[in-house]
Amino acid sequence: MKHIRSISEIGKAGVLAIVERAKQMSEINSRPVPKVPALRGKTVVSLFLEDSTRTRLSFETAAKRLSAETMNFSVSTSSVNKGESLRDTIETISDMGVDAFVVRHKSSGIPWQIEQWTDASIINAGDGAHQHPTQALVDCFTVSEAFGVDSFEGLTISIVGDIRHSRVARSNVEAFAMLGAKVIIVAPSTLLPPDVGHWPVTISNDIDDVIGTTDILYMLRLQSERMDQGLIPNLSEYGNRFGLSEKRVSQLPLNARIMHPGPMNRGVEMQVDPSHLSQSLIHRQVANGVSVRMAVLFTALTLNDDRDHAIQGLTKEAAQ
């Protein structure tokens, strides 16, 4: 798979394969020296044209643990601020000889637009409100790990919050449904995208209707600018209607788990401190981020015919 851009392009078999590969990577990460030569000689460029800390660090760590060279393109010091077009930026970096672009951009569709300007693999680290496939893969891996299952048949996952503006929601709805979960999206109508009757979800406007039957409560970040846009009256009303309070935690089924892609808005969607909650998988999501992104880079940067050879590299300790 050359590009990792959206869950639908990756497909169910691809999602399962990456999750499976991430288990191997997780094993590598538990070694005293968590580094293997699997991508030695490959160059990975982080092209983050929108602020990000955890995703960028997670990708860079993943690339280094697989022994890839990394190049970091930062917006503030780059030629993009001097008016260079995205096309020129991509073509210039490509000319230096790179194997993969890890791209984050505030506009939907960038990973598809830049395909025509480079031969490198394109890894989508978040495009607008469109897709964030590696977050969804992390979350599938995390659910799989927590529940000890590969298939999500029988699991009910409720995604709560600003679905309309969330790339995480779009990727996760697809991925969770693909693996067999029943997915419920929960939000006020103003934060739901229009005309999504074709999405594989049930829609609810009331978290209290779904909380008692939810296996995984997936909370999304609510940005305060939604209030300025008139989508919600104010943050406290939103928090009261859709936030995770102590009371709501107590209404969750016994084995239910709580997830959040971060960063959290404490006091808004998270009215409880999740570090005190035994149900929280939030730290697992962050920890698994590196393993899953190692699996993603490995999948994109090793062609089928030389993958067996590269897989041997995974089983060896770093040669040093």
ω into residue 263 within 30 of 0, thus cis? yes
Nearest to 140, CA basis, from 149, 131, 127: 149
Using CB under 8 A, which of the segments 61-69, 107-115, 213-221, 307-315 binds another protein?
Answer: 107-115
**Residue 63-82 contact track with another protein, rule CB under 8 A, x = bound:** --------------------
Q: How far apart are CA 248 and CA 3, in angstroms?
A: 40
* Residue 199: Cβ within 10 Å count: 17
Query: Least distance (Å) from another protein to the CB of residue 87?
Result: 5
Using CB under 8 A, which of the segments 60-68, 110-118, 219-227, 312-320 binds another protein?
Answer: 110-118
Of 170, 221, 260, 293, the one binding another protein (CB under 8 A) is 170
Using CB under 8 A, which of the segments 137-145, 154-162, 193-201, 309-317 binds another protein?
Answer: 193-201
* Set 21, 56, 130, 132: catalytic member: 132
Sign of CA dihedral 135, 136, 137, 141: positive
Q: Say how many residues touch another protein, by CB under 8 A.
A: 25
Active site residue 221: no
Interaction of residue 87 with another protein, rule CB under 8 A: yes
Of 107, 190, 224, 315, the one binding another protein (CB under 8 A) is 107
Q: How far apart are CA 310 and CA 304, in angstroms?
A: 10
Interaction of residue 110 with another protein, rule CB under 8 A: yes
User: Do the bridges between strand 100-105 and strand 69-74 make them parallel or antiparallel, or are there none, so unpaired?
Assistant: unpaired
Interaction of residue 31 with another protein, rule CB under 8 A: no
Interaction of residue 83 with another protein, rule CB under 8 A: no
Q: How far apart are CA 105 and CA 114, in angstroms?
A: 11
Interaction of residue 108 with another protein, rule CB under 8 A: yes
- The answer to whether the CB of 269 falls within 8 A of the CB of 239 is yes
Query: Least distance (Å) from another protein to the CB of residue 19?
Result: 24
Beta bridge partners of 46: 72, 102
* Set 104, 105, 182, 248: catalytic member: 104
Active site residue 132: yes
Nearest to 260, CA basis, from 273, 251, 247: 273
Binding residues for another protein restricted to 296-315, rule: CB under 8 A: none
3-state secondary structure 287-301: HHHHHHHHHHHHHHH
Q: How far apart are CA 107 and CA 103, in angstroms?
A: 11
* Set 54, 64, 241, 307: catalytic member: 54
Active site residue 54: yes
- Residue 312 three-state SS: helix
Residues in contact with another protein by the rule CB under 8 A? 85-87, 105, 107-110, 112-113, 128-131, 164-165, 167, 170, 193-199
